Amino acid sequence: MSVDAIVIGAGFAGLYAVHRCVAAGLTVVGLEAAPSVGGTWYWNRYPGARCDVESVDYSYSFDEDLQSDWTWSERFAAQPEILAYLDHVADRFDLRRHYQFETDVVGARFDAGQWTVETSTGDRVVGRFLLCATGCLSAVNRPDIPGLDDFAGEMYYTAAWPREDPDLRGKKIGVIGTGSSGIQAVPILAEQAESLVVFQRSPNYTVPMPNYPWSSADLQRIRDEYPERRQRSAYAAAGTPHGTYHKNALDAEPGERLDAMWQRWRDGGVLFAKTFPDQTSVLEANDIARRFAEDRIREIVTDPAVAEDLIPVDHPIGTKRICTDAGYYATFNRDNVRLVNLRREPIEEITEDGVRTASATYACDVLVFATGFDALTGAMTRIDPKGPDGQRLSDIWVDGPLTFLGVMVPRLPNLFSFSGPGSPSVLANMALHAEVQVDWAIGLMVDALGRGITEVEPRRDAALAWTDGVAEAAERTLFPRAQSSWYLGANIEGKKRVFMPYAGGFGNYRKYLDDVAQRGYPGLVLTTGVAW
Ligand code: FAD
Ligand code: NAP
């Protein structure tokens, strides 16, 4: 089978890519490992899974009718609702018929002007362009803890939660991992469990999520202001309509600062990470917000020793992904919940019936792994596409990810990668981010096909310049100070430590993409003459 475009993935980016290909009159095949659409929202169905960007913003903007027909029920939508939305999109735009589901792409090779993709089903699919919408948080990290295979109880990964929600009521549950996923799941698991042990290697900052059902008045107001709201998001630093407080923390009086922080704390979630413009770039400003958040932890958690264990000591607030929660800290006031600080008592092994640390053995019927992802690069390096001269992605990225505009990779012609390194990615609202990147790629493909161009590939010097720019943007922030962050790949053994997302802002990123397209794609080598 030979097509114009092969799209890997059926999440926000993949679905939109297939839709845009069809609309542009291109033939397209979509390949997806899961049995259905949804990407992140297909796989992450653990108790408590929700978005941390408001539902009305964390949704496509490309179709006015879709936007006005769909009604979000809550401010922060839960996983089933986001999955239902993506199901609706797939049906509404008739996208499923282009997909082969339960099909894992296991390799890809560019030769004679085309990509040949190998799948787990033994098929080969050939296409001119390869669009990798494989996700930034899709390659699950399954830590290799001694004794794991001996565990006789139930074992679940938040990132691959069973479709049939397991009944965990009355069981002894152990949760390993206290990032956003663990922090969302813990309060609900605590309510279900006979006992819950939370195994924490690193504490994270988390801010309560003031979630509520949208009222009809809220929804009407949002509908009325949608065009303006979307326009603001399009050029905002994080792809949402919210900005920071109008003054730097260091320019505001202490009382004014405190009011601003309380306001932001009540607004909730990720917004607190950027209360002040200088908060993510000036340590002294960050310290003000950090101390405010730490005071809240000490207020909520009744046992002072537990409170201290829950306070991060290794990074400025917001420089690892800030978490959002529904009663996380208060969960540690429950009689059936215990926090185990793995920095003091590391896990030595998993036994048949629990977890043995350096100090004690904790009996568990169920182990929940909320241990994260090989983020940003993992899904792509697991495919490890091979270019025309035999170079693999893993060779090209040996010193860290090298991209042009966070979308293309030198030596891998006609390949686009979405949501990955070198783009704002996880620092932005990724529904809009998917649209921006896919639009750019389709624009280039259509332009190339119209001009008889058969190969498009970034020049190495252009990719190096972009990647240097990504590093410089990070250096202007406090992000690189979080040395144990997955933003730097620190959670995966042997992974090169490089700050991977573009921290220069979503709006600026969009302008770069637009500018390169308007100027006829400087930085790319456009080749004609390969016969298809
Ligand atoms: P994904 O949704 O990850 O889709 C990628 C798809 O590619 C997957 O279905 C996967 O199965 C498939 N795939 C990968 N490799 C292969 C292969 N080799 N062969 C076949 N198929 C393959 N972002 C926000 O902006 N706001 C949020 O509130 C938010 N909440 C999140 C909550 C959770 C629990 C997680 C894990 C992430 C969250 N994110 C959030 C980030 C989220 O990943 C993105 O918002 C977005 O869903 C990514 O869409 P995508 O299409 O790029 O990738
Ligand atoms: P994560 O942030 O990487 O957290 C993984 C956790 O597992 C960390 O606490 C980590 O500890 C721990 N861990 C990993 N290996 C371990 C081991 N061998 N032993 C003990 N502990 C181990 O992953 P995540 O929670 O899935 O979140 C990833 C990202 O997905 C988030 O940052 C966010 O962008 C997105 N997300 C968003 C939401 C939302 O609110 N909308 C919800 C979930 C996820 P260390 O920190 O010490 O490595």
365 with 385, same domain? no
User: Residue 433 to residues 61, 161, 235: CA-CA distances in angstroms?
Assistant: 11, 26, 11
pLDDT value of residue 155 = 98
User: Residue 529 to residues 5, 6, 119, 218, 245: CA-CA distances in angstroms?
Assistant: 19, 21, 29, 56, 54
Could you tell me if the CB of 181 is within 6 A of ligand 2? yes
Could you tell me if the CB of 57 is within 6 A of ligand 1? no
Phi, psi (degrees; rounded to nearest 5) at 403: -135, 160
318 with 432, same domain? no
pLDDT value of residue 528 = 87
Q: pLDDT tens digits, the chain, 532 residues: what are they?
A: 689 999 999 999 999 999 999 999 999 999 999 999 999 999 999 999 999 999 999 999 999 999 999 999 999 999 999 999 999 999 999 999 999 999 999 999 999 899 999 999 899 999 999 999 999 999 999 999 999 999 999 999 999 999 999 999 999 999 999 999 999 999 999 999 999 999 999 999 999 999 999 999 999 999 999 999 999 999 999 999 999 999 999 999 999 999 999 999 999 888 999 999 999 999 999 999 999 999 999 999 999 999 999 999 999 999 999 999 999 999 999 999 999 999 999 999 999 999 999 999 999 999 999 999 999 999 999 999 999 999 999 999 999 999 999 999 999 999 999 999 999 999 999 999 999 999 999 999 999 999 999 999 999 999 999 999 999 999 999 999 999 999 999 999 999 999 999 999 999 999 999 999 999 999 999 998 665 5
* Domain limits for position 261: 206-212+233-369
Count the domains in the chain.
2
407 with 347, same domain? no
> Cα–Cα distance between 262 and 255 in angstroms, integer?
11
Q: Give the mutation target among 95, 156, 324, 430 for probing the ligand 1 site: most ligand atoms within 8 A of CB.
A: 430
pLDDT value of residue 414 = 98
380 with 355, same domain? no
344 with 378, same domain? no
In a domain, 443, yes or no: yes
In a domain, 155, yes or no: no
In a domain, 152, yes or no: no
**Domain-ending residue, one of 369, 402, 427:** 369
pLDDT value of residue 529 = 63
Residue type, 460: R
Could you tell me if the CB of 429 is within 6 A of ligand 1? yes
> By three-state DSSP, how is residue 409 classified?
coil
Please give the distance, rounded to the nearest whole angstrom, from the Cα atom of residue 40 to the centre of ligand 1: 4
What distance lies between CA 132 and its chain's CA centroid? 15
Tally of residues, the chain: 532
**Residue owning tokens 């933003």:** 487
Q: Pseudo-torsion of CA 222, 224, 228, 233, nearest 10°?
A: 20
In a domain, 225, yes or no: no
338 with 238, same domain? yes
Annotate 322-338 with b (16+ C-beta within 10 A) or e (fewer): bbbbbbbbbbbeeeebe
**Domain-ending residue, one of 338, 369, 400:** 369
Q: Whose CA is nearest to atom 18 of ligand 2?
A: 143
Please give the distance, rounded to the nearest whole angstrom, from the Cα atom of residue 33 to the centre of ligand 2: 22
pLDDT value of residue 530 = 60
**Domain-ending residue, one of 369, 398, 429:** 369
In a domain, 190, yes or no: no
Name 216's Cβ contacts closer than 8 Å, sequence gap at least 6: none
In a domain, 224, yes or no: no
